[in-house]
Amino acid sequence: MGNLEKALALSSVRIERAWQILKAGGFFEAWASIGAEAHVVGSLRMGLLAKHRDIDLHIYSPELSVADSFLAVSRLAQRGVVCRVEYRNLVDTEEQCIEWHAGYVDDEGEEWQIDMIHILRGSRYDGYFERVADRISAVLTEEMRHTILLLKYLTPDGCHIAGIEYYRAVIEGGVRTYEDFLRWRSEHPLLGVDEWMP
């Protein structure tokens, strides 16, 4: 089996497992319990989840209450679905959000990173990354999808590269090999939040 076949097979398994985790863990229900609405964003939303076991959720509510946000995450913790949690209060920044980075150990003993960004409705990033994901999905050809999954598969373990770097390099930059991807990254360093949209 070649690298592309391995990348596609791994992606398929990871996507299926990610949806199982969200359902079994009660993530949507925990946030709904405080009147918030959770949306899947990022690589899972686009079907581009690969080696990294990560799930991105953006959660929206009409008011940002730190206490309510803690309550939702505590419900997840009480269910035993998270093994660790990191919290960042960015309510008074332009992001107007509360960041949660949680660890989840699945049935096979593998740890997943669950990023839950609790965002104020009507703020700058309300729905923005859903639109980015949907635009990327709309322009992706099968060849581009395969290239992105292969590039992610070929990236060494422990090397953190933001998903948007792969998508932009392939869609906008025409990158098709890992060597070209590394060159493209050196010429287009990621500085802060990348608001690129195809």
Q: What is the 3-state secondary structure (H, E, C) of the chain?
A: CCHHHHHHHHHHHHHHHHHHHHHHHCHHHHHHCCCCEEEEEHHHHHCCCCCCCEEEEEEEECCCCHHHHHHHHHHHHHCCCCCEEEEEEECCCCCCEEEEEEEEECCCCCEEEEEEEEEECCCCCCCHHHHHHHHHHHHCCHHHHHHHHHHHHHCCCCCCCCHHHHHHHHHCCCCCCHHHHHHHHHHCCCCCCCCCCC
pLDDT of residue 6: 96
Spell out the domain ranges in the chain: 3-124, 131-187
Q: What is the pLDDT of residue 197?
A: 86
State the pLDDT at residue 190: 85
pLDDT at 129: 93
- Is the CATH number 3.40.309.10 carried by domain 3-124? no
Q: What is the pTM of this model?
A: 0.93
Q: What is the mean pLDDT, run by run of 10 residues, along the chain of 198 residues? A: 93 96 94 98 97 96 96 90 91 96 90 97 95 96 98 93 96 96 94 81
